[in-house]
Amino acid sequence: MERLINIDNGGTLTDICVWDGQNFNYAKTLTTPFDLSKCLFDGLTKASESIFGAPDLEALLHSTKHIRYSTTQGTNALVERKGPRIGLVTDDAAVVAELRATEAEASLFDALIGPRVAVIDPHADEDALVFDLVQQVNKLTTDGAARIVVAVGDADGPGERRLRNILLRKFPRHLLGSVPVLYSWEFTADRVRTRRIWSGVINAFLHPTMERFLYNAEDRLRQLRVQNPLLIYRNDGASSRVAKSVALKTYSSGPRAGLEGARALAKAYDLNHVLMIDVGGTTTDVGSVKDFQIAVDRRGSIKGVPISFPMSNVHSTGVGGSSIIAVKEGEIIVGPESVGAAPGPACFGFGGTSATITDVNLLLGVLDPATYLDGDFALDAERSKAVILATVAEPLGVGLEEALVQMEAAYFATIAKSFAAVIGDPADTTIAAFGGAGPMSACGAARLNNVKTVLVPKLAAVFSAFGISFSDIGRSYEVGLSEPTIEAARSVHDMLVERAGRDMFQEGHELAACTLQWSLVVEEADGTLVSEAPYTYGDAPAVGAGQPASLTLDVTFELPHASLAANTSLASHPAVASGTRQVRSSATEVDEVPVYALLDQKPGATALGPSIVEGTFFTARVLDGWKLDVTAAGDLMLTDIR
């Protein structure tokens, strides 16, 4: 088969995973925030070298069927509040209070919208409306709005259509073109006003983070004569062309890929509850797979704010391998600010002046400065020492060794807090730890939450990119019924079939080759879900009085999927160490611990902690009291035996 390339772009590192139907090749490269296309093609070039023995980007691309791309740029932007200022045009001043109803909503409203709200009367006579709208839009842009969301009237949009016609006349592209306008009724048919507005606002905030890069990447692929378009992996677990994707659905797409991989692990190891802990450079993403099912919210939420679209139940916390560790009011604080890839941790040598857990682990001895990223990137311990002394040790009034131990403890506690609420029964929970920083911190965080089992996949460093292997090409639709009748449902059904046929044709596939899944969704007037049931053409919608109903359609064109080897019982034998490393266990003690190269171990290999396990692009820290076992699939199973 032709190759499938999966890309997971993070705030610090970008992962490339290439599958040829049997084998995986993968690469990591530093994310280049000034030009995301650079790290994309740098990573692809590295991957081509591992496949062909020498760099050959064009050979790799021309032997590839699809490139599926996921990014945490939107997630990181929202966590760090880095994005354009949004202006809101509405017809009801009360909506501001509705949008600020909870602490989470108020915080996000103040960060994204703030005072930039214009209230107009869409029913005014034409001259008065034109004058008022022009004045209000001019004020929004003067106040700094770089993007505007219009939300007036009901979800069917007659009021917004009227405003759109005026804005198109009064603000030609050469005047207002640099301030894009999003109309809520065009973006989602959700009848709940606050969800509809929040969806539009967050999408407008995230859009510029991806827009320029994605189209630039597509242009470069065309220059390399790549025929198949770049596909965007979404947070609903499917992929689609750049032009057919919306920014909101890229939020938390990487964690969704990780969840797909975690589900594959759950099936391979027959685990009832797998708790995903994906520790990247900027965030820790947490999600659950129970009874082999990924929990999906019919109407999702982002940072505690309700949106109109389904979303897997993933929670992101601002703590990762590049999170800043600092002292505030005499206490060590971890995140949510991150140094990202530029300047990166101090040990990267790019001018970073803030301490991170990467710097801590380097000085503790967990990381080998010569083998980081498989030796592609040397770390500078002296820079880490200088930064930690200046920003943590001296403010606390302690020595370097004590500062390192306290920083690691604070980091373990912060990671542990990120998933404490979703454990359930610790005895029935297995933590799947991946991402660049996950395996280093999993044992320490798990022990704080009384979880006894940690599973580190052999592809831990690129596991979200691997998880994209389980995605298909797909589109999702939702349209409200004007009335709960057979005729109205048939009309919406026929319209969606026609629309889906066009969209899938543009994706390169005939609708007849796709799987179609229909549902009838019934909600209360306030948006509370009443029922979601399969729909068959000609069925009479079962809808109560005053309950809005919608027809949804999920269209899927299936791609080949990777599989994981089933776990089997193995005879155990001692793991073979490749050397030893001095690792600090307290402010006064340094242990000489064995180092095990994961790829050199045969299935069934076992050892006790404290020890270090080196995988491809990752390091796992096995604490004292933990036992490690190498599974039949080559993964690392860690068990707390204390």
* pLDDT tens profile 265-306: 999 999 999 999 999 888 898 999 999 999 888 898 888 899
Do 631 and 577 lie in one domain? The reply is yes
Please indicate, yes or no, if residue 460 is contained in any of the structural domains. no
Mean pLDDT of 102-127: 93
> pLDDT at residue 308 above 80?
yes
Number of H helices, E strands in the chain: 18, 34
pLDDT at 174: 46
Residue 364, classified by CB atoms within 10 Å of its CB into exposed (0-12), middle (13-18) or buried (19+), is: buried
Least confident range of 281-285, 614-618, 624-628: 281-285
The closest of 200, 199, 110 to 150, measured between CA atoms, is 200
Cα angle 166, 170, 171; round to 5: 110
Do 162 and 102 lie in one domain? The reply is yes
Spatial separation of the C-alpha atoms in residues 358 and 355, rounded to whole Å? 8
Spatial separation of the C-alpha atoms in residues 558 and 517, rounded to whole Å? 13
pLDDT at 414: 96
Q: CB of 55 within 8 A of CB of 48?
A: yes
Residue 135 makes CB contacts below 8 A (sequence gap 6+) with: none
Element (H, E) at 9: strand 3-9
* pLDDT tens profile 580-602: 999 999 999 999 999 999 999 99
Mean pLDDT of 114-130: 92
Do 525 and 542 lie in one domain? The reply is yes
Per the structure, how many domains does the chain have? 4
Spatial separation of the C-alpha atoms in residues 139 and 300, rounded to whole Å? 33
> pLDDT at residue 478 above 70?
yes
Q: What residues does 317 pair with on adjacent strands?
A: 284
Within 10 angstroms of residue 245's Cβ, the number of other Cβ atoms is: 22
Mean pLDDT of 515-523: 95
pLDDT band for 374, please (50, 70, 90 cuts).
Answer: low
Do 229 and 180 lie in one domain? The reply is no
Least confident range of 273-287, 370-384, 476-490, 551-565: 370-384
Spatial separation of the C-alpha atoms in residues 389 and 393, rounded to whole Å? 5
pLDDT at 176: 44
Tell me the C-alpha to C-alpha distance, in Å, between residue 638 and each of 8, 146, 627. Answer: 26, 49, 6
> What is the chain's mean pLDDT, rounded?
90
* pLDDT tens profile 182-236: 999 888 888 899 999 999 999 999 888 777 778 788 888 888 888 888 899 998 9
Spatial separation of the C-alpha atoms in residues 491 and 475, rounded to whole Å? 19
Please indicate, yes or no, if residue 190 is contained in any of the structural domains. yes
| H helix runs in 224-329, sequence order | 253-269
Spatial separation of the C-alpha atoms in residues 189 and 483, rounded to whole Å? 15
Phi-psi region of 61 (alpha: psi -120 to 50; beta: other; left: phi over 0): alpha
* pLDDT tens profile 444-453: 999 999 999 9
Please indicate, yes or no, if residue 204 is contained in any of the structural domains. no
Mean pLDDT of 361-389: 88
pLDDT at 195: 94
Residue at which a domain ends, from 133, 166, 196: 196
Cis status, amide bond into 610, omega within 30 of 0: yes
Tell me the C-alpha to C-alpha distance, in Å, between residue 398 and each of 165, 330, 365, 388, 389. Answer: 65, 12, 19, 11, 9
What is the Cα gyration radius of the chain?
26
Hey, what are 579's tokens?
């050397």
Amino acid 131 reads F
Hey, what are 486's tokens?
């057979």
* pLDDT tens profile 130-186: 999 999 999 999 999 999 999 998 767 788 888 988 888 887 654 444 678 899 988
* pLDDT tens profile 241-270: 888 888 899 888 888 999 999 999 999 999
The closest of 260, 625, 275 to 427, measured between CA atoms, is 275
* pLDDT tens profile 59-90: 999 999 999 998 877 777 787 788 899 999 99
Higher pLDDT, 79 or 101: 101
The CATH number given to whatever domain includes residue 156 is 3.40.50
Q: CB of 627 within 8 A of CB of 613?
A: no
pLDDT at 191: 87
Q: CB of 254 within 8 A of CB of 278?
A: yes
Please indicate, yes or no, if residue 53 is contained in any of the structural domains. yes
Q: CB of 306 within 8 A of CB of 299?
A: yes
Q: CB of 180 within 8 A of CB of 147?
A: yes
| DSSP conformational letter for 163 | H
Least confident range of 175-184, 307-316, 419-428: 175-184
Do 97 and 176 lie in one domain? The reply is yes
Hey, what are 296's tokens?
């999906």
Three-state DSSP state, 548:
coil
Do 117 and 177 lie in one domain? The reply is yes
Do 148 and 102 lie in one domain? The reply is yes
Please indicate, yes or no, if residue 610 is contained in any of the structural domains. yes
| DSSP conformational letter for 559 | -
Please indicate, yes or no, if residue 276 is contained in any of the structural domains. no
Do 113 and 176 lie in one domain? The reply is yes
Do 511 and 607 lie in one domain? The reply is no
Tell me the C-alpha to C-alpha distance, in Å, between residue 181 and each of 192, 200, 463. Answer: 20, 10, 37
Order of strands, edge to edge, in the sheet holding 64-71? 24-30, 13-19, 3-9, 64-71, 230-233, 238-241, 472-480, 549-557, 515-523, 529-534
The CATH number given to whatever domain includes residue 35 is 3.30.420.40
| DSSP conformational letter for 545 | T
Strand 13-19 to 3-9 pairing: antiparallel
Please indicate, yes or no, if residue 324 is contained in any of the structural domains. no
Do 30 and 107 lie in one domain? The reply is no
Q: What residues does 456 pair with on adjacent strands?
A: 636
Please indicate, yes or no, if residue 227 is contained in any of the structural domains. yes
Residue at which a domain ends, from 527, 557, 587: 557
The closest of 443, 454, 439, 459 to 562, measured between CA atoms, is 459
Strands of 52-196, DSSP E: 64-71, 86-90, 117-119, 147-151, 181-183
Domain that holds residue 546: 472-557
Do 71 and 95 lie in one domain? The reply is no
* pLDDT tens profile 448-467: 999 999 999 999 989 999 99
Q: What is the DSSP string of 406-466?
A: HHHHHHHHHHHHHHGGG---GGGEEEEEESSSHHHHHHHHHHHTT--EEEE-TTGGGHHHH
pLDDT at 332: 96
Any idea which residue has 């879900």 for tokens?
A: 529
Percent of the chain with pLDDT over 70: 98
Q: CB of 576 within 8 A of CB of 596?
A: yes
Do 229 and 177 lie in one domain? The reply is no
End-to-end CA distance of the chain: 48
